[in-house]
Amino acid sequence: MVTATVEGTPLVIGHEWAVDLLAHGLAMNHLSQAHLLVGPPRIGKTSLALYLARALNCLDPQTRPCGNCSACHKIGKGLHPDVRVIDEQGASIKIDQMRELQREMALSPFEGHRRVYILCNFQQATLEAANCLLKTLEEPPPKVVLILTATEAEMLLPTIVSRCQTLHLRPLPVSQVQQALQAHWGIEPRQANLLARLSEGRIGWAIEASSNDALLRNREKYLIALEQILQQERTERMSLAQQLSQNPQCLPEVFDLWQSWWRDLMLAKTGNVQALTNVDRQQTVLNEAKRHTLSEIRDCLHAIQRAAEQVEQNVNPGLALEVLLLRLPRLPSEAS
């Protein structure tokens, strides 16, 4: 496994082919000025982007990134003046931000070899901001490297994608996530296995969940909400849609969780229990799978995927959630 380290902490877990590709381009002095890293949330896109930022500005000519020089340390702490990470945490990148960045890009690096701009979740940028970026991509300033991240390349302007070197990051094997949690974060095997399963190969989620109990509490809350809503009428469903839409930054997590639940029901329905994600709720999964047809389960998965895409495309979250929740099947309460 290729692992870059900074201050003893793994920076890139897995995605060996991507690390090797970028390292080769750097060694051959043939690295693109614009990169697009595509993949599910918390799969390691920003970590890979920071790996490249370190490699570009590392002070050790033999091992880039070395993880020990002042440039590597500053980038790791978010203090390097030539490396900017733009992450709006669920909000859109606006045209004013892009114009400000363009003015910065025209300047020479302050202390590093390259100015590096990491624009996270660029699929949420406004159309005006995207068109503004396109002008920069057409004539990129010297000594500037742009790294965009997105969940899907299809959600960006085709003209932006065509001007970037695109790397599609895939979920890691569960075993690799578990091994990393045990080896580098000291998680005991049983908990590491659970987190690795729940992460579905998203190493960033697993790492955060290992130290942030709120993620697991939210998981329990959203699963209970899903179980309850299947036994409730239109009024209750509309109310839940409005509640969830008040925190749009949490919706990707909700959609991912609900999709994992319905996929588990499909696996249980087809006899593939060993592949379940929500292993700590296995008996509940088995029981609930008996209450749905395969056709219902597929329809639910499609409906959740559609709602997730709509929210990514800046459709009104409340409306997207209302349509989704009204499409979910109605089950009789177990008490009736």
- Tell me if 335 is assigned to some domain: no
- Tell me if 35 is assigned to some domain: yes
Residues 86 and 117 sit within 8 Å (Cβ to Cβ): yes
- Tell me if 223 is assigned to some domain: yes
- 118 lies in the same domain as 231: no
- 177 lies in the same domain as 161: no
pLDDT tens figures, 157-204: 999 999 999 999 999 999 999 999 999 899 999 999 999 999 999 999
pLDDT tens figures, 40-71: 989 999 999 999 999 999 998 888 898 889 99
Q: Which CATH number characterizes residue 125's domain?
A: 3.40.50.300
- 161 lies in the same domain as 131: yes
- 311 lies in the same domain as 258: yes
pLDDT tens figures, 120-158: 999 989 999 999 999 899 988 999 999 999 999 999 999
- 157 lies in the same domain as 179: no
- Tell me if 336 is assigned to some domain: no
- 70 lies in the same domain as 178: no
Domain that holds residue 206: 173-211
The pTM for the full model equals 0.84
